Structure 1
Amino acid sequence: MTALTCPLCAATDTHHFHSDRRRDYSRCENCLLVFVDSNQHLPLAQEKAIYDLHQNAIDDPGYLKFLSRLARPLLERLPANALGLDYGCGPGPALAELIKAQGHRVKLYDPFYADFPEHLQQDYDFIVCTEVVEHFREPKQEFNRLLGLLKPGGWLGIMTKLVIDAEAFAKWHYKNDQTHVAFFSQATFNWLAARYDCRIEFAASDAIILQRNLGRCSD
């Protein structure tokens, strides 16, 4: 395979990491992102059709328990009456409702289900992205946006499954979802924290919390 440019850090030191019957996966040796090249991404209409099959009900106890792995540690850190953004909220913004029930305000954004570009024109105390970053086709652009929307000291809460190693990746069900095109490890998130001048905490095996420091992120 020809070396590809990393969509997160723009490095060209990338190598073949894995292939299956549908896609090829590369890994960046700089930020350690594992990614699918853009020529193997699904058309947007087909991607949305898959999302439409998801059933994540706001009142599903199992789903709320899953979300609590991020919600609980994040809520412990928020100031009173904080203003947040649920980025990639999907058709059933359960996490936003859970956080609002604790006295906070949450706006919604999703390119398919809550396309409110005006919600990307202000600063927030916190942003949540649950099962979203693995869908980022252009993660550098997305993280520039997200960290740029946070107030100094603001919090970015992320839920996504993490890459362990090549052997585990080969058997990993998470990669089989064709809407998943970017796969992060702890090392990748540590790179992101350094890149964007953030503190980082791994609150659970699939829950990551970044706190923006005083410096604004740059392109």
Structure 2
Amino acid sequence: MPKGVHFPSAEYPLSIDCPLCRHGHTDFYHRDERRSYRQCRRCDLVFVPPADRLSPAEEKAHYDLHENDPSDRGYRRFLSRLFEPMRERVPVPARGLDFGSGPGPTLSLMFAEAGYDMALYDPYYAADSGVLQGRYDFITASEVAEHLYRPGAVLAQLHGLLRPGGWLGLMTKLICDRAAFATWHYRRDPTHVCFFSSRTLAWWAEQAGCDIFFIGQDVILLHKPLSSAFT
């Protein structure tokens, strides 16, 4: 058994707060050979408890194995599932932020090639916190949400960086049900610690006062209204 990994029973204490909505009541959801998973009673988020996460060094070592090549046509096709619907909604000229750009920034390059003014942020590979002081017409986070230890705080921060009328585009695979989760390849990535359902994201959009659009199986667009009380 890896050091620091614990396999709780269904009676595991309910005092582990949801990292999205901070609700104090969460329930045992699943466990595998490496870690356990809990589900929030309020927003439905499924998440890995802090005790079962990788260390920062282990997480960084896993990310370093990624081979995201901007010249890879297959990778560009994959990213186009977010790129195209965002481009349809945000005309040039516009300023965008690619949040969680990774070791081989590609989505930002696709937008730049299309005439957009782009900024990058990644805590490991482009950690310029100055870009998080700017304001943006759109923000993309491709295959990022599932890695967030504090998704509520991060999503609120990104929402705050959007100009009124701006768009936040997420790409993350969504939970179907508990039975499918048990055999789901997506949960097997040790750096994936948060798993969203359509209900979870709809809950968050309502709290933020955003309109939400589900595009296909894994693209979610959130539109910030011209006036918003959520910060």
* TM-score, length basis structure 2: 0.93
Whether 1:67 aligns to 2:57 is no
Match of 1:145 in 2: 157
Whether 1:201 aligns to 2:213 is yes
Give the paired residue count.
218
Point out where structure 1 has 5 or more consecutive residues left out of the alignment.
Answer: none
Q: Which has the larger radius of gyration?
A: 2
> Residue type of the partner of 1:168?
A
Return the alpha-carbon distance in structure 2 between the equivalents of residues 142 and 153 of structure 1: 19
Return the alpha-carbon distance in structure 1 between the equivalents of residues 200 and 224 of structure 2: 17
8 Å CA contact 1:23, 1:36 repeated in 2:
yes
- Secondary structure in 2 matching 1:89: coil
Return the alpha-carbon distance in structure 2 between the equivalents of residues 80 and 171 of structure 1: 42
Return the alpha-carbon distance in structure 1 between the equivalents of residues 82 and 152 of structure 2: 23
Moved over 6 A (4+): none
8 Å CA contact 1:129, 1:159 repeated in 2:
yes
How far the C-alpha of 1:204 sits from its partner, in A, is: 1.7
8 Å CA contact 2:137, 2:166 repeated in 1:
yes
Match of 2:182 in 1: 170
Whether 1:119 aligns to 2:103 is no
Match of 1:43 in 2: 55
8 Å CA contact 1:148, 1:216 repeated in 2:
no
How far the C-alpha of 1:79 sits from its partner, in A, is: 2.7
8 Å CA contact 1:162, 1:186 repeated in 2:
yes
Deviations 1:21-70 (A, max 9, x none): 11100001211100001111111011010000011110111111111111
Return the alpha-carbon distance in structure 1 between the equivalents of residues 74 and 92 of structure 2: 27
How far the C-alpha of 1:13 sits from its partner, in A, is: 2.3
Question: Share of identical aligned residues, percent?
Answer: 47
> Residue type of the partner of 2:71?
D
- Secondary structure in 1 matching 2:158: helix
Return the alpha-carbon distance in structure 1 between the equivalents of residues 156 and 50 of structure 2: 19
Point out where structure 2 has 5 or more consecutive residues left out of the alignment.
Answer: 1-11
Match of 2:68 in 1: 56
Match of 1:158 in 2: 170
- Secondary structure in 1 matching 2:140: strand
Return the alpha-carbon distance in structure 1 between the equivalents of residues 199 and 155 of structure 2: 16
Return the alpha-carbon distance in structure 2 between the equivalents of residues 76 and 190 of structure 1: 22
* TM-score, length basis structure 1: 0.98
Match of 2:230 in 1: 217
> Residue type of the partner of 1:2?
P
